[in-house]
């Protein structure tokens, strides 16, 4: 696979993984009746929203830099879900921003109200993001008139309501259930986590078998994939029954690796269900490398984006999250001590 195509999966995987933490809390807040975990979830969301926002910026700019010609796809096919996504994100940002302000001013009930208000918008953003993702890789929703000139029009009904989109999204939701149980170490929900992971694996395998055969075949024939699946189950048990140092960081890393593996298994092919094998190479679909930006801009841009990935995402994000999370936890402990 082209190295720039593979590089693009880094900001994509990062954003997806970071967003899962927030999305996971949507799933688990109603499921978890334990006040202990709800408080922790609210702390995490409050600490993470800025990192999620910047990850999205990183993703969009990476898309712009690496795949300049994709503008003709975003502009003529994907514009509607992208624009709706931004409306949802605006409300999401607004709610989180107000929650943060409330938190700093000690208005905790307002903080909680607005964090809960932000979460449904996060779910909608997740669904729209999934729709865009599945549409690009499968081609559902793309009406191709001339591939060479990127003369493509959208079919939004097909884009949103195709079976692949829903099966894959439910698989993602099931994985988020597992992720959240592990992330927060919710031992009371160990079986729920195991069920979530199992359903996610089944749904991912079934959907890719049916609609993304390149991904399916790459995955099942890769020993690393199966080892990774075993590790996920093992870590579920360890994270919920033992006190694991850096528990959250490990599941974050595992999920990030999983998303990167998915990217690698695509072998850089998109539109797999509408472009038959043999049209552009032996595999179905179109190589994404055909949509790369010119070499000079790509090289210069990739250096800067790489720096952003290494220096900022890796280093400063971890430090600031640690600071924010630590401060938020202290505040909760102080509040509990005051109540007692």
State the nearest-atom distance from the C-beta of 220 to another protein, in Å.
35
- Closest to another protein by CB, 19 vs 58, is 58
Q: Is 80 in the site for another protein (CB under 8 A)?
A: yes
Largest CA-CA distance found in the chain, in angstroms, rounded = 71
Q: Does 241 bind another protein (CB under 8 A)?
A: no
Contact range with another protein by CB under 8 A, out of 76-84, 159-167, 227-235, 269-277: 76-84
Q: By three-state DSSP, how is residue 233 classified? A: helix
Distance CA(302)–CA(37), nearest Å, equals 40
Which tokens go with 213?
Answer: 């055969």
Collapsed DSSP state (helix, strand, coil) of residue 105? coil
Calpha distance 63→57 (Å, rounded): 10
Q: Which of 6, 39, 74, 133 binds another protein (CB under 8 A)?
A: 74
Residue with tokens 């334990």: 34
| 264 vs 328, beta carbon nearer another protein | 328
Q: Is 1 in the site for another protein (CB under 8 A)?
A: no
150: left (phi over 0), alpha (psi -120 to 50) or beta: left
The answer to the question of residue 293 lying near another protein (CB under 8 A) is yes
Q: Contact at 8 Å (CB) between 54 and 11?
A: no
Shortest gap between Cβ of 60 and another protein (angstroms)? Answer: 6
User: What is the closest distance, in whole angstroms, from the C-beta atom of residue 119 to another protein in the complex?
Assistant: 16
Size of the site for another protein (CB under 8 A): 62
The helix or strand, by DSSP H or E, that contains position 159, with its residue range, turns out to be: helix 156-161
305 binds another protein (CB under 8 A): yes
* Residue 108 C-beta-side C-alpha neighbours within 13 Å: 8
Contact status, residue 48 vs residue 333, Cβ threshold 8 Å = no
* Separation CA 315–CA 69 (nearest Å): 32
Using only C-alpha atoms, the chain has a radius of gyration, in whole angstroms, of: 20
| The binder of another protein chosen from 6, 39, 94, 205 (CB under 8 A) | 94
Spatial separation of the C-alpha atoms in residues 97 and 100, rounded to whole Å: 5
CB 122 within 8 A of CB 19: yes
| Contact pick of 9, 19, 37, 58 for another protein (by CB under 8 A) | 58
For the CB of residue 1, give the shortest distance to another protein in the complex, in Å: 21
Stretch that binds another protein, among 65-73, 134-142, 193-201, 228-236 (CB under 8 A): 65-73
Could you tell me the smallest distance in angstroms from the CB atom of residue 81 to another protein?
A: 10
Would you tell me which residues interact with another protein (CB under 8 A)? 50-51, 53-54, 56-58, 60-61, 63-65, 68-69, 71-72, 74-76, 78-80, 82-87, 89-91, 93-94, 96-98, 100-102, 104-105, 107, 110, 293-294, 296-297, 300-301, 304-305, 307-308, 311-313, 316-317, 320, 323-324, 327
């Amino acid at each position: 696979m082209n190295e720039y195509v593979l590089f693009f999966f880094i900001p994509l995987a990062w954003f997806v993984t970071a967003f899962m933490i927030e999305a996971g809390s949507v799933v688990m807040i109603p499921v978890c009746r334990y006040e202990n975990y709800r408080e922790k979830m609210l702390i995490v969301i409050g600490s993470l929203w800025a990192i999620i926002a910047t990850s999205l910026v990183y993703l969009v700019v990476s898309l712009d830099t690496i795949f300049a010609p994709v503008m003709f796809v975003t502009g003529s096919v994907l514009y509607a879900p992208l624009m709706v996504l931004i409306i949802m994100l605006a409300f999401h940002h607004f709610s989180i921003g107000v929650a943060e302000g409330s938190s700093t001013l000690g208005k905790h009930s307002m903080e909680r109200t607005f964090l809960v208000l932000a979460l449904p918008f996060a779910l909608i953003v997740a669904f729209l993001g999934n729709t865009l993702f599945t549409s690009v890789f499968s081609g559902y929703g793309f009406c191709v008139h001339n591939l060479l000139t990127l003369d493509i029009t959208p079919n939004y009904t097909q884009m949103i309501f195709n079976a692949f989109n829903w099966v894959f999204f439910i698989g993602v939701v099931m994985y988020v259930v597992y992720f959240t149980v592990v992330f927060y170490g919710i031992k009371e929900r160990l079986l729920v986590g195991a069920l979530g992971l199992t359903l996610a694996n089944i749904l991912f395998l079934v959907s890719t078998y049916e609609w993304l055969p390149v991904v399916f075949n790459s995955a099942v024939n890769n020993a690393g994939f199966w080892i990774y699946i075993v590790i996920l189950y093992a870590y579920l048990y360890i994270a919920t029954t033992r006190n694991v140092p850096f528990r959250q960081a490990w599941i974050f890393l595992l999920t990030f690796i999983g998303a990167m593996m998915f990217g690698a298994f695509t072998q850089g092919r998109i539109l797999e269900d509408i472009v038959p094998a043999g049209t552009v190479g032996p595999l179905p679909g179109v190589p994404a490398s055909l949509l790369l930006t010119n070499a000079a801009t790509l090289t210069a841009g990739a250096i800067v984006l790489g720096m952003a990935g290494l220096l900022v995402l890796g280093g400063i994000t971890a430090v600031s999250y640690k600071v924010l999370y630590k401060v938020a936890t202290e505040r909760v402990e102080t509040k509990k001590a005051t109540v007692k």
